Amino acid sequence: MPAKYSPFEGALKQFEKAANALKLEPHIADILKKHQKVITVNIPVKMDDGSVKVFTGYRAQHNNFRGPYKGGIRYHPDVNLDEVLALSMWMTWKCAVVDIPFGGGKGGISCPVKYMSVAEKERMTRKYVQMIAKDIGPELDIPAPDVYTDSQTMAWIFDEYSKIVGYPAYGVVTGKPIELGGSLGRTQATGYGVAACVREAVKLFNKDIKETTVAIQGFGNVAYYAAEKLYKWGAKVVAISDSQGGIYDKEGFDPIDVMEYKQKTGTVVGYKEVKKISNEALLISECDVLVPAALEDQITSTNAPQVKAKIIVEGANGPTTPEADEILFKKGVYIVPDILANAGGVTVSYFEWVQNFQKFQWDEQTVLNRMEEKLVKAFKDVNATAKKYNVDNRTAALMLAIKRVADAYKLKGDY
């Protein structure tokens, strides 16, 4: 049986490739590939039936040379240290590539979240905050929503942390409800950013977005808003999937209509009796652009040779393994890597944080316009770096990000 793929090993391979291309000083490379702090806590939670269960929680703080640690908290049975280490490192590069003043962090709790009541999740969240309160804060480490956490989760964290410090600490988390200092536009931000990257990539192929077919793996928040924006711009969304399977129609779908169907039935499968496909089949389906927006480790050395898309825009974190990267680069597939493609969310999280300090709320269009400007500039910076060094876009994005973090370190004083 083959060994299970390690996201953190993959993140380290990506880092080392980019650091070597940059000719980064060995001691700085050694600093940047190591986490500054990793926190593990065991959280006792009183369940609704009166029993007490203990769940393991993590918070990995990779690097803060450019600003406070920033990154989501996820609740999932498969949350583990390796995953959190990888995701926190990717967050450092993601913030740097779009040039926002944050470093990288990530957290999570390994728990059967789908089988927990709202009250159980609230008690677990508040206990988690109590255990990591000294390690988070508006100018120290700023969590956000991730897998199976949302604005309500952030409201609990904000409230519990504020009780601990004795004042309303609005900037301690982002992704909060609007009523508690959240930013307008946050819900759509990541998906709209993915769509903007699709549009910019398509331009490089001298193709009109209205003549472009797109297959999207996943139909959660990121995938839906990417699909909605692309459809609005005139692209054909020919494939959509969720955890139960997918649908394909070369004539394209109206994502709003598909979402209404999914909300009624719980899945996209069965929509208008169109062709059913598996998630695996979606990845190698006929399309111009493939958007993997589900989970990590989806495009591997096994299926990469069969990918038909000319452009891949990574809505999810880490959907392509390093081995698959090599295969796709040789095939001439243009990849917009995750640390750029899905950075719309953290960009608007930054805007939320800024608004919290200003005690002022920007209007939605201002937020989304500023986010798109950031991503388009970063897209052009990455593309220019790839051409300059004759490397793939992931390596180029990492080179750009790593250089910015390394420069911050040197300017503060290399010792």
Residues annotated as catalytic are 106
User: Could you give the residue ranges of the DSSP H alpha helices within 253-343?
Assistant: 255-265, 279-283, 322-331, 338-341
Of 148, 144, 190, 189, the residue nearest 171 (C-alpha): 144
Angle, nearest 10°, between helix axes 186-204 and 364-389?
Answer: 40
Instruction: Round to whole Å and give the CA distance between 27 and 415.
Output: 10
Q: In what order do the strands lie in the sheet with 141-145?
A: 37-46, 52-63, 103-110, 69-76, 141-145
What are the beta bridge partners of residue 290?
A: 215, 312
Q: How far is the C-alpha of 194 from the C-alpha of 189, rounded, in Å? A: 9
- Give whole-number Cα distances, 390 to 17, 19, 144, 266, 382, in Å: 13, 15, 35, 45, 12
Instruction: Determine the Cα–Cα distance for residues 218 and 246; give it in Å rounded to an integer.
Output: 8
Residue found under tokens 């608007």:
348
CA distances from 72 to 287, 343, 377 (A): 31, 12, 24
- CA angle at 376 for the pair 146 and 227, rounded to the nearest 5°: 55
Distance CA 374, CA 215 (A): 25
Question: Residue 320 has what DSSP assignment?
Answer: B
C-alpha angle 233-237-239 in degrees, rounded to nearest 5? 165
